[in-house]
Amino acid sequence: DDGRRLDEARALRSAPGQRAVQPGPYWAIDAGPVRVIGIDTGLLGTLDAEQGAWLREVARGPRPKILVTGSPLYVDGRYRPCPIEGGGTVDDIVRDPDNRFVAAIGGDIHNYQRYPVRLPDGRTLQYVVAGGGGAFTHATHTIPRVDVAGVSERDFRCYPLRGDSLAFYSALYGRRLRLPRFFALTEAEAAAVIAERLGIGPTRAPGAPARVTRRMRLVAGLLGTGRRPDRTRRFRLPVRRLYTQLFSPGSATYRPPFFKSFLRLDVGPDAVRLRCYAATGNRAQEIDPPVEDEVTIPLPGAAE
């Protein structure tokens, strides 16, 4: 029974040093030179006053820190600082130089994004979205041209790439609406129309460059592809919130590539190495997962 199994589990961790008391669905773990702090933002993406006071307390001190949160502070080219009941925001705490945060990692969104935000005091904070292990893939092709907090397209990283995301969703809607010949875009076609709509160079050039046609532009628009800020919004099919509510439970594919990802952090005495690995479902990449993004984050005062 459950009681017996719990007793057996407790016996495996019977020493006092192996047990901890967690005050709620939020926590702090000292791992070598860094402190990893996890917060619970709930369904509304906010913190209550009690958890806010706890966060301010555990964020103090010279040890470098990494925040883990259910609600990303930067996502889809937008800033969401996460308000705290009674005043202030989570990002106020993260940005405070006395607290020595080096990164803030958020989940919830089922893809990978990274925003290296340079602060007025010269520090660079890595704001990361790492929800790519979710059951279905959130689109990245809907992310508009990035220009937020000094982060431009040149600095921004995401996985899947926007072109891969658009090609994936075009095939998905082609199957669902039984119009594959109209909707389906190749990776080269998707990359080309993304580059045209955002006014950027192609991130990846799979094969020969594709000529952008009216059909490709129409499909990209219908699937909510991001655009330059000077372009007006037009009708589009549900790809983000409404898609998630209506179609996502039945849209988890079992045919590679999956465009999933996982995050790995290697902590050393002087730096944290952050890597985003692709999880495609292909055998060769299962054995040797490709690195889609990588950054080394220096640890301030790690030797103090």
Ranges of residues in the chain whose predicted pLDDT is under 50: 244-246, 303-304
Report which DSSP code applies to 47.
B
pLDDT value, residue 245: 47
pLDDT value, residue 30: 94
pLDDT value, residue 3: 86
pLDDT value, residue 148: 96
pLDDT value, residue 153: 94
Residue 93, phi then psi, degrees to nearest 5 = -70, -40
pLDDT value, residue 204: 67
Domain boundaries, the chain: 2-135, 162-250
Inter-CA distances, 44 with 70, 83, 85, 103, 108, Å? 10, 10, 12, 22, 12
CA distance 184 to 191: 13
pLDDT value, residue 185: 95
Neighbouring residues of 173: CB distance < 8 A, sequence distance ≥ 6: 179, 183, 222, 223, 237
pLDDT value, residue 133: 79
Total residues belonging to the chain: 304
DSSP 241-257: HHHHHHTGGG----SS-
pLDDT value, residue 303: 45
**CATH of 2-135 among 3.40.50.720, 2.40.37.10, 3.90.660.10, 3.30.750.180:** 3.30.750.180
pLDDT value, residue 56: 98
CA distance 142 to 225: 4
